[in-house]
């Protein structure tokens, strides 16, 4: 056979490869029918088991999820094993050819030999005879033509699988139709396939229970608080159970508990101090609810709070923020209160609740009591709240925040603050008499110094006076005098001024006690004005003779006191002379001598202080003489006291005694320097002698002054006696004239 007559080998085996391709499609169809029949059969069987289990045991939502997961896993595993894995395998022509030869022994490997030789690219180059190769290929093709390739497939099993697949598809169709038309299948489909958690997709039963406030399988409890959970038997229930139990899961092995029946269709259970989440369900009759997850949330509470009080307008004070947590807060009547704050969570409502007495006084001047009132607060951005309490609504009491969140929870431990009524006190008035004693004459003037303080401002000052007469001979008297306060002081909270009360225009008789008080009025236009008064001041109104006698008595008392001081100064001079004689010429002072010098220095200062005090008392007598107008300005009594007594006393108590005190101190400090020490002490003794001479001179003037005053008093007494004699004579004369006239009339 020549080379030209040889047929190409690949084209020679084309009938075999085309028939193998048909066989490959038949194998795929066989796998599809086999896999689908078994997958659908398993799915239908599992659906039936799932329906039966859910019907009998009323699976809850998590259990239904698990069942659906198991079904999907089983069906998926079988689908992978029967469909995905076989169909994903690549069936080569050689593998199919071997399977065909295995099922047809008469081929004797002729077909596989032909296919492999046809695939050789150059048989002659490999030492093979082209003619023999061509012959072997034709022989294999001829033998393959006499064999049915499809015989290697199990036709009987294929027909059975087709029947099973048809039945499965029919059942699936019936299931779809049943889901659309049958209530039971529809409920099962929604519960177990769609995993619908709606209570309406439940198996028909005689009792239906609803866990109140449960949404999407969750119920909210306030953390750390007691909570009452309600379970309600719905209206469509045919049977109301006598007992409903609560089952727990993930609650530390907490046993089931019976609920308390709180109504015809309502049961309740109290959960105490819940601090950890758990799950529970209710069961009663033939009803079992789904498991409900307890979520713990914080109760609504005030997180930040700002209280701003605006005082009444008359106070002229700006709004001020009250310090947090420093209550109770004392507020003036007429104030307004601004509340701003934030909560720890979103709110649906916020209000302030309180009871107490109104800060503003009502009828009769007394604050009205209010049992309870609520002030709604506006919300901003859910968590912020704000509001304002007007002056006529502000109470003295306890304010409590009532907050409600989006879950309907209210604060069990609310934030509170307290307000109290702050009293705008009346002005405090202090008055001190200046240059006057407890006795005055009717023509006197009474100087006084006033200091008035108020919480806000003083708007007016006045003086009330009163005297009470002794019987019908002396009438009573009282009145009010305005006090002219400098314009720049009125309207201020603190003012001090000096004023003088002229007694003569009041026509106060002698022999009475004149009492007066200074009163001040503030600017409180809400609950006032308030009036404050000073302690009552009292002076005895006497005759000029009585006052002069009292002044003379006081002069004598001061003179006697000054005589004692003069004697002390004389004793001190004697002691200093003795010390000078004892230390003169010695090298140093002994500790005892130093101590003596210190004592002498103290005694000398004490003489000066007491002398200054006596001079001050005489100065007060001079001022009192002036205020009582006992004589003209710079009269003889005043000038004698000032020039002969007061001024010399001030010189003694001031520079003279101060110089002696310094010399005694220098003597002590120069204890070891004999010359300087002796000189200082000698000079001190000389100064003391001058002081003593000055004091004796003053004492002489004091005695003369007393004699003069006694003479003056005697003259006033004589004048008084003469006046009395004149009055009595005149009275007797009038009575005799009256008797004469009456006697003439009778005749």
Q: Which two tokens mark 493?
A: 């909270």
Q: Check residue 362 and give its pLDDT.
A: 61
Q: What is the pLDDT of residues 40-56, one digit of tens each?
A: 999 999 999 998 998 88
Residue 335's pLDDT band, with cuts at 50, 70 and 90, is very high
pLDDT tens readout for residues 451-500: 999 988 999 999 999 988 765 556 678 889 998 888 788 888 899 988 88
Torsion on CA atoms 472, 474, 475, 477, rounded to nearest 10:
-150
Decide if 306 contacts 341 (C-beta within 8 A): yes
| CATH number for the domain formed by residue range(s) 428-542 | 2.60.40
Express each pLDDT in 625-641 by its tens digit: 888 888 777 777 788 88
**Cα–Cα distance measured from residue 192 to residue 67, given in angstroms and rounded to the nearest whole number:** 8
Q: What is the mean pLDDT of the chain?
A: 83
CATH topology of domain 205-297: Immunoglobulin-like (2.60.40)
The H or E element that residue 616 is part of is helix 591-627
pLDDT band at 739 (very low <50, low <70, confident <90, very high): confident
**169-173, 365-369, 512-516: segment of lowest average pLDDT:** 365-369
Per-residue DSSP letters for 644-686? IIIHHHHHIIIIIHHHHHHHHHHHHHTTT-HHHHHHHHHHHHH
Q: What is residue 520's predicted lDDT score, i.e. its pLDDT?
A: 93
CB-based burial label for 235 (10 Å; 0-12, 13-18, 19+): exposed
pLDDT digits (tens, 9 = 90+) for 165-207: 899 899 999 889 888 888 888 888 888 888 876 655 677 888 8
The tokens describing 175, both together, are 């299931």
More confident residue, 620 or 362: 620
pLDDT on residue 387: 92
Fold: same for 302-421 and 428-542: yes
Instruction: Please write the tens of the pLDDT for every residue from 520-560.
Output: 999 988 888 899 999 999 999 988 888 888 888 888 888 88
pLDDT the model gives residue 747: 46
Give the 3-state secondary structure of residue 375. Answer: strand
Is 108's pLDDT higher than 80? no
CA–CA distance, 111 with 15 (Å, rounded to integer)? 11
Span 281-319, pLDDT tens digits: 898 988 888 888 888 888 888 888 999 999 999 888 899
Q: Determine the Cα–Cα distance for residues 473 and 686; give it in Å rounded to an integer.
A: 64
The C-alpha atoms of residue 271 and residue 226 are separated, in whole angstroms, by: 6
Provide the 3-class DSSP secondary structure of residue 393.
coil
The pLDDT of residue 725 is above 70: no
Residue matched to tokens 């469509």? 236
Q: For position 320, what pLDDT does the model report?
A: 92
DSSP string, 294-327: EEEEPPP-EEEEEEEEE--GGGT---EEPPTT--
More confident residue, 190 or 93: 190
What's the rounded mean pLDDT across residues 655-672? 88
**Residue-level pLDDT at 473:** 58
Please give the Cα distance from 138 to 97 (Å, whole number). 16
**Do residues 491 and 458 make contact, with C-beta atoms less than 8 angstroms apart?**
yes
Determine the pLDDT at residue 708. Answer: 57
| Span 249-278, average pLDDT | 86
Task: Please list the residues that pair with 496 across neighbouring strands.
Answer: 451
Between the ranges 98-107, 386-395, 665-674, 718-727, where is the mean pLDDT highest? 386-395
CATH class of 302-421: mainly beta
Assess whether pLDDT exceeds 90 at residue 720: no
Q: Give the Cα separation of 333 and 312 in Å (integer).
A: 7
If one compares 482 and 26, the residue with the highest pLDDT of the two is: 482
Q: What is the Cβ-side half-sphere exposure of residue 238, based on CA atoms within 13 angstroms? A: 4
**Per-residue b/e over 551-582, b at no fewer than 16 CB within 10 Å?**
bbebbeebbeebeebbebbeebbeebeebbee
Q: Is the pLDDT of residue 408 over 90?
A: no
pLDDT at 544: 84
Phi-psi region of 260 (alpha: psi -120 to 50; beta: other; left: phi over 0): beta
Domain boundaries of the chain, sorted by first residue: 3-181, 205-297, 302-421, 428-542, 545-730
**Location of structure tokens 């080998």:** 9
* pLDDT of 22 over the 80 cut: no
The string of pLDDT tens digits covering residues 215-243 is 888 888 888 778 888 999 998 888 989 99
């Amino acid at each position: 056979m020549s080379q030209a007559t040889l047929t190409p080998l690949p084209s020679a085996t084309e009938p075999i490869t085309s028939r193998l391709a048909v066989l490959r499609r038949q194998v795929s169809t066989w796998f599809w029918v086999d896999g689908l029949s078994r997958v659908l059969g398993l799915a239908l069987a599992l659906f039936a088991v799932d329906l039966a289990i859910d019907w009998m045991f009323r699976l809850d939502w998590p259990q239904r999820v698990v069942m659906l997961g198991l079904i999907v896993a089983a069906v998926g595993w079988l689908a992978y094993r029967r469909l995905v894995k076989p169909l994903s395998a690549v069936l080569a022509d050689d593998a199919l050819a071997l399977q065909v030869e295995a099922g047809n022994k008469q081929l004797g490997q002729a077909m596989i030999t032909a296919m492999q030789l046809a695939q050789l690219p150059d048989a002659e180059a490999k030492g093979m005879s082209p003619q023999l190769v061509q012959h072997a290929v034709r022989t294999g093709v001829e033998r393959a033509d006499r064999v049915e390739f499809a015989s290697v497939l199990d036709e009987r099993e294929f027909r059975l699988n087709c029947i099973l697949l048809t039945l499965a598809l029919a059942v699936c169709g019936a299931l779809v139709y049943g889901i659309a038309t049958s209530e039971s299948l529809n409920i099962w489909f929604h519960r177990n396939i769609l995993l619908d958690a709606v209570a309406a997709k439940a198996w028909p039963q005689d009792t239906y229970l609803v866990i109140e406030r449960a949404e999407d399988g969750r119920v909210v409890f306030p953390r750390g608080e007691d909570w009452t959970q309600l379970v309600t038997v719905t209206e469509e229930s045919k049977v109301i159970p006598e007992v409903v139990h609560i089952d727990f899961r993930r609650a530390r092995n907490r046993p089931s508990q019976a609920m308390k029946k709180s109504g015809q269709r309502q049961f309740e259970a109290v959960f105490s101090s819940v601090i950890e989440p758990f799950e529970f369900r209710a069961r009663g009759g033939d009803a079992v609810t789904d498991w409900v997850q307890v979520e713990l949330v914080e109760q609504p509470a005030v997180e930040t709070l700002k209280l701003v009080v605006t005082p009444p307008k008359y106070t002229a004070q700006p709004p001020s923020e009250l310090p947090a947590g420093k209550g109770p807060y004392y507020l003036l009547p007429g104030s307004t209160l601004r509340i701003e704050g934030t909560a720890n969570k979103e709110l649906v409502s916020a209000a302030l609740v309180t009871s107490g007495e109104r800060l503003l006084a009502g009828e009769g001047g007394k604050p009205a009591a209010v049992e309870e009132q609520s002030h709604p607060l506006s919300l901003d951005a859910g968590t912020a709240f704000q509001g304002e309490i007007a002056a006529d609504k502000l109470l003295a009491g306890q304010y409590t925040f009532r907050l409600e969140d989006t879950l309907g929870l209210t604060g069990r431990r609310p934030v509170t603050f307290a307000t109290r009524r702050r009293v705008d006190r009346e002005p405090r008035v202090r008055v001190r008499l200046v240059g006057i004693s407890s006795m005055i004459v009717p023509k006197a003037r009474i100087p006084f110094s006033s200091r008035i303080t108020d919480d806000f401002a003083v708007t007016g000052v006045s003086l009330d006076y009163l005297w009470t007469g002794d019987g019908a001979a002396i009438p009573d008297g009282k009145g009010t005098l305005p006090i002219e306060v400098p314009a720049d002081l009125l309207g201020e909270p603190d003012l001090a001024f000096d004023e003088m009360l002229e007694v003569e225009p009041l026509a106060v008789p002698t022999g009475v006690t004149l009492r007066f008080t200074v009163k001040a009025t503030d600017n409180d236009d809400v609950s006032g004005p308030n009036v404050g008064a000073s302690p009552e001041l009292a002076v005895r109104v006497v005759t000029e003779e009585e006052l002069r006698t009292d002044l003379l008595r006081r002069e004598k008392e001061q003179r006697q006191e000054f005589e004692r001081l003069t004697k002390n100064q004389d004793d001190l001079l004697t002691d200093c002379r003795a010390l000078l004689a004892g230390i003169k010429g010695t090298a140093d002072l002994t500790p005892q001598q130093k101590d003596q010098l210190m004592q002498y220095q103290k005694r000398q200062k004490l003489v000066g202080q007491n002398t200054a005090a006596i001079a001050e008392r005489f100065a007060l007598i001079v001022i009192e003489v002036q205020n009582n107008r006992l004589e003209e300005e710079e009269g003889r009594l005043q000038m004698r006291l000032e020039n002969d007594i007061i001024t010399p006393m001030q010189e003694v108590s001031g520079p003279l005694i101060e110089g002696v005190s310094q010399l005694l101190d220098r003597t002590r400090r120069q204890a070891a320097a004999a010359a300087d020490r002796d000189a200082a002490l000698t000079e001190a003794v000389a100064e003391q002698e001058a002081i003593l001479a000055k004091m004796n001179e003053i004492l002489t003037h004091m005695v003369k002054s007393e004699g003069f005053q006694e003479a003056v008093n005697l003259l006033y007494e004589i004048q008084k006696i003469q006046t009395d004699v004149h009055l009595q004579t005149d009275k007797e004369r009038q009575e005799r004239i009256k008797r004469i006239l009456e006697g003439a009339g009778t005749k």
